[in-house]
Amino acid sequence: MRRSREPLLWAVFSAGGMVAALLFPALIFVLWVAAPLGWVSPPTHGQLAALLDHPIVRLGAFVLLSAVFFHWAHRFRYTLYDGLQLYHLNQLIAVVTYGVATLLALVAAFLLLIP
């Protein structure tokens, strides 16, 4: 009996959605709203560089970014497929969207995991 890949794909999709919906808006608020208004002290370049020096932080950032990229790919694919009703281009749309997500994940790996 062959096992389905669907639970793994749904896990990646939901993880990316959770990161995109909960963590990124909080990060954007802290760095681009609260810090310029003086509500919190902004992190210095040295502090952020020291944070990214730790390999577990780099790995975590890579996993979170990759999940967001694949979440985008899935959403965009079905927006084109269902929203614009491009049923005849389903295979091409899947290859392009997931290909872009894979390329972005590889770029993130290059930038984050290689010191």
User: What b/e readout covers 14-34, taking b as 16+ CB neighbours within 10 angstroms?
Assistant: ebbbebbeeeeeeeeeeeeee
pTM of the model: 0.78
Using CA atoms, how far apart are residues 41 and 81, in angstroms rounded to an integer? 45
Q: How confident is the model at residue 2 (pLDDT cuts 50, 70, 90)?
A: confident
pLDDT at 99 over 90: yes
Distances (CA, A) of 17 to 30, 43, 83: 20, 26, 19
What is the C-alpha radius of gyration for the chain, rounded to an integer number of angstroms? Answer: 18
Residue 10 banded pLDDT, cuts 50, 70, 90 = confident
Predicted local confidence at residue 98, as pLDDT? 92
Residue 115 has a pLDDT of 67
> For 57-90, how does the pLDDT look when each residue is reduced to its tens digit (9 = 90+)?
999 889 889 989 998 998 898 888 888 888 788 7
CB 27 within 8 A of CB 61: no
